[in-house]
Amino acid sequence: MNTKRVISITTVVLAATSFTFAQTPTAPPQPSWGPGSADYAFSVIQTYGPYTVSFGSDQTDSYYIYQPSGPVPASAPAVLFLHGYGADSPQSYQIWINQLVQKGYTVVWPLYDQGAAATFVNHELADWTDALNRIAASPNMIPVAVDQSGVMEAGVVGHSAGAFTSFALAALTDQPGSGLPPFRAIVAIEPGQGQIPTYDLSTILPTTAVIIVVGDEDKAKRRCTASQIWGVLPSTTGNGRNFLEVISDARGTPQQLGNHYFSLTDTNLDTVPPPTSVDDRDYNVSWKLSVSALNCAIKGLQCDVAFGNGNSQQITMGNWSDGTPVTPLLYVSDPVTQFQSDCQNGDSVPDQFDAPY
């Protein structure tokens, strides 16, 4: 037996294997600072619930309240987190929820979609009202922060069906006499209408900050829906409004795809397997944009990140492990024109609910 030949072949095989591994870069780690980072002001998350809201004998909603602790703040702004259709457990978004809480926000997560689509917004409204009243009445919960005029500081974050209804809910809460605080910011990730009715959005306050995100691998109909929402929003006089598109990058692993499910943090529909399903699209899209938009609208901080009009802080996705930049977000200055073809030549059938949607 030729020992030298065996050793040489083995060396070549090992070298080839190492070369193959080296050619597959990995996605960026979580940033060390900023709104998408693990630089947390609060180390503990207090969970309350589930609490129930009854709608007659045939349906009962439930919701959870998450609050920051370690240390306990004197107060915290409140965020209504609206899930996608069929994503009927907070586990689907739990790590995203945790990010918001540990950055200093009270988060209310309602299960609102157990009835017909036409009832979703009314259920969200009732659940949100019940949660705010419960927080105000509880001696054990952190009160919702208020501004100098005594108005509660609040925002809404939604995905898919929840992103679509967040605008309807904002239009209702912004009406005089609603008894609810206006949302300072709306963060809508991949809005999807399905069978949800269209609402009049003209009452949304011009001071409301808005971020809409779509994905290049989502359904054309949903990109169309998002652009149509943008087109009917009242002109802004506030902190800003930006529209962004996630552009897929399959250079490494996990692939950074602009699909409909990237913002979920516990699902096999993402390109990252459970149980975490967390990667760069969470850090630099869902988490970065939601936290910075809320911080900007409520605290006057990180406005250059949330509403950077395509600046590097806003659109960066970090670098693959080989140093190559992950394809950045695309800032869309005119979504109505940009996605006109999706509205005209996209999906020929109405947008249907997926699960989760």
- pLDDT tens digit sequence for 70-115: 999 999 999 999 999 999 999 999 999 999 999 999 999 999 999 9
Give the phi and the psi of residue 348 in degrees, each rounded to 5: -80, -15
**What is the arithmetic mean of pLDDT over 180-203?**
95
Tell me whether residue 16 is in a domain: no
Tell me whether residue 272 is in a domain: yes
pLDDT at residue 270 in the model: 85
Give the phi and the psi of residue 240 in degrees, each rounded to 5: 145, 165
How far apart CA 287 and CA 265 sit, in angstroms, is 11
Mind listing the pLDDT tens digit for each residue in 26-68?
999 999 999 999 999 999 999 999 999 998 767 899 999 999 9
Tell me whether residue 14 is in a domain: no
Tell me whether residue 148 is in a domain: yes
Number of domain units in the chain? 1
What pairing do the DSSP bridges indicate for beta strands 154-159 and 106-111?
unpaired
Tokens of 143: 């009160």
Least Cα distance to 246 among 317, 305, 304 occurs for 317
Tell me whether residue 21 is in a domain: no
Identify the CATH number of the domain in which residue 164 sits: 3.40.50.1820
Tell me whether residue 3 is in a domain: no
Tell me whether residue 352 is in a domain: no
Tokens of 326: 């992950």
Residue range(s) defining the domain that contains residue 161:
28-345
Tell me whether residue 215 is in a domain: yes
The string of DSSP letters for 49-73 reads EEEEEE-TTS-EEEEEEEEEESSPP
Whole-structure pTM value? 0.91
